[in-house]
Structure 1
């Protein structure tokens, strides 16, 4: 809706140059690359009718964490992108509940996976120690530390006795993050190339937000995004029923931004500069003999009086 937005703001017509070409894979503005040349993301939808949302999240997190550990035991450093589990939430209330579950149930299930799921291949016992959150509740001083910590990889050293790769940390060494819980703070400005695994709790309100958030994983390595959809929410259920078609065409579902050129908030932000300009102009008009040096000395004082 670029034409309607430009008309509402500037009352002018808009034209795109150069126009879109004949090939959708190369339209001058973007080029579609093959997955063989550039790793992409695979989207997985999970919906369990009759199950509670916390129970679904616990099982998804446990399965992903223990499966990543099994890959690490076998392949070592190559499995590093999938050892950090990223959880995306639409609200702080849901994130707070999942953090408590991650610190309790997910840790317990991941540690006891060999005893309870011994007949299921592809899972390995794992101890989940480092759980962080990236939200507005975190201090502004801690956010840069967490972002630096996301860059830390799981070091791999082969243990001949266990016949598997293990991770050993020194006492004062910065540990890698096992689980990162985040809100929409993650979708802007977080460029960590090593992330490859994400679980989205519920369908975000906007498609643009969904694309931005899930594009944080799979930037350098193949990524896996799991959308945990709740059967009791009609919108989540609708996305699950059309999951494949929606994700194959979700760029065309991006909502147009609303344009409000004379909104109260926009006028409040613009009126301050306009009033100061008028005051400076009136000062020059009513005091034509006032020198430049005198104006500079009293300028700040007059603004304070206003």
Structure 2
């Protein structure tokens, strides 16, 4: 199974979590799978009549029901309030498993931050931790891995002098993309000179390229045609996006070059759009997209309109020569390139360089974004934490050597310090990672997680004991609590929070909240048990604010009903 860590809060509002975590299953529905309490999990959609379910379903004997292994990826993200809340639910799940001898789930947690990992694991799981792989006797080497001599990523630190911070970043992007465009054009106009290194005279190297054909060179250039600018805030992104459109593209148009095609990726970008951007970066050879790029270049007077079809034909030959599944050889593209008109060759160079070629993004790209074309990255100042810097800079150069520019802010003291100690900082980068900030005993955290743990006892433990009834109904829970010893509930809640590890003040708060919840359920008359609690169970680990009810005003109600009837 795969899911987000937020799903752990479902133990506080979904009784079927006991199926997964503690094996509270009695039957197997022939249509919908495991079931309990004499009814199908899809009782409102199951074709089997409720009265006949126990006859039609197959009884089962559960063996070793607890999940054997949990892998919470990117463990360092479980920090601060999210980490505190998750820690309470993790030990709550452990207690539910212990109560029915379901076994204990083992945990393997990949993380980018191993500094003080024992402390973080304690606050999340109340378990001892083992680091793997353990450090070896030699620096940067252990039994499983060793550092290679090849550089995978080059870091360059810059600080502006005589110009603003944002203008310095615009200049870097301009010179980089101009150079990519020039190399693309050179590859089209003088492929042999580029392959032999003659076209590179005057640069740091004029040696022959390590490539057998010009289409291989073009493929490599496309991997470096997209720049990624890492933003520290959305406000910086607004300024930079505006400068790209109004300033950077003006520089390119002044030299009769195509403008950049930019996109923005932040936490507020819709998931569908993010997916479309990543798909386009992973597979840039999309015919409709390329035709649209050519049309925009014609509209910008960069290309003559009559060359579009010839450019697409040459582009198709290049794509086929790069595809191992076709019979088109590199020589065929070389011949087609030599026979093409100058405008067509230049047009193909502009096309390849004008695909989605600049991304501005916030920390949302730091995790789980593995794009082969992210090989040039610019930092809009120094990130606040070393772990964030490591994670985000590792987006560049994952498959091919990457180039990372860190443009420090000239008036921020912290940025100036990082600039002056740039080499030493990167030399000891892994040792300077800050420990994860998490405290499961935070004073007010118990108030937020208690309703979920209290409801999890009712829904995912007591409800599966004989004679308990359907405890999600308030009246059933009221009758049940009248029969249960309050001290038993207090002890179980304390056990879910950590048992003997719970500090005195924290435990006292948990006991008070337990007694208050019992009283509210017995005094209130609402239909659902969860609605009788002083505060609702968390729906996610980020559910920290009071819910705001949204209702239509009376004067709009008729309008909404009319629209609904029309649909």
User: Which category of TM-score, normalised to the shorter sequence, fits these structures?
Assistant: 0.7 to 0.9
Give me the whole-angstrom Cα distance separating, in 2, the residues matched to 1:281 and 1:199: 50
> Residue 295 of structure 1 aligns to a residue in which SS?
coil
Larger Rg belongs to: 2
Contact 1:214 1:225 in 2 (8 A): yes
1:248 positional shift: 2.2
Answering whether residue 237 of structure 2 is matched by residue 95 of structure 1, we say yes
Deviations 1:37-62 (A, max 9, x none): xx601011111234211221211110
Instruction: Tell me what 1:198 maps to.
Output: 377
1:10 positional shift: 7.6
1:128 positional shift: 2.4
Matches within 5 A, 1:1-306: 1-5=116-120, 16=131, 19-28=134-143, 30-35=145-150, 40-73=152-185, 74=187, 75-113=217-255, 126-153=257-284, 158=337, 160-161=341-342, 166-167=348-349, 176-263=355-442, 266-268=445-447, 270-279=449-458, 291=467, 294-295=469-470, 298=473, 302-306=528-532
Deviations 1:55-99 (A, max 9, x none): 212111101111121222234222112111111010000111000
- Pick which of 4-13 and 220-229 moved more: 4-13
1:11 positional shift: 7.9
Give me the whole-angstrom Cα distance separating, in 2, the residues matched to 1:144 and 1:216: 16
Instruction: Rate the CA distance shift 1:17–1:180 in 2: closer, same or farther, 3 A.
Output: closer
1:147 positional shift: 1.4
Contact 1:194 1:219 in 2 (8 A): no
Deviations 1:190-236 (A, max 9, x none): 11122211111100001111111111111111110111112111111
Instruction: Rate the CA distance shift 1:276–1:49 in 2: closer, same or farther, 3 A.
Output: same
- Pick which of 244-253 and 154-163 moved more: 154-163
> Residue 228 of structure 2 aligns to a residue in which SS?
strand
Instruction: Rate the CA distance shift 1:188–1:2 in 2: closer, same or farther, 3 A.
Output: closer
Give me the whole-angstrom Cα distance separating, in 2, the residues matched to 1:265 and 1:80: 52
> Residue 371 of structure 2 aligns to a residue in which SS?
coil
Give me the whole-angstrom Cα distance separating, in 1, the residues matched to 2:129 and 2:461: 39
Contact 2:133 2:144 in 1 (8 A): no
Give me the whole-angstrom Cα distance separating, in 2, the residues matched to 1:221 and 1:50: 34
Contact 1:191 1:216 in 2 (8 A): yes
RMSD of aligned alpha carbons: 3.4
Give me the whole-angstrom Cα distance separating, in 2, the residues matched to 1:18 and 1:65: 41
The runs of 5 or more residues in structure 2 that have no matched partner are: 1-115, 188-216, 291-314, 319-336, 478-526, 533-567
Instruction: Tell me what 2:25 maps to.
Output: none
1:274 positional shift: 2.0
1:273 positional shift: 2.9
Contact 2:181 2:350 in 1 (8 A): no
TM-score (norm 1): 0.79
TM-score (norm 2): 0.45
Instruction: Rate the CA distance shift 1:26–1:111 in 2: closer, same or farther, 3 A.
Output: same
**Aligned length, in residue pairs:** 284
Contact 2:374 2:395 in 1 (8 A): yes
Instruction: Rate the CA distance shift 1:266–1:51 in 2: closer, same or farther, 3 A.
Output: same
Instruction: Tell me what 1:172 maps to.
Output: none
Contact 1:89 1:184 in 2 (8 A): yes
Contact 2:382 2:415 in 1 (8 A): yes
Contact 1:65 1:110 in 2 (8 A): no
Give me the whole-angstrom Cα distance separating, in 2, the residues matched to 1:152 and 1:42: 25
1:9 positional shift: 7.0
Name whichever structure is richer in strand by fraction: 1
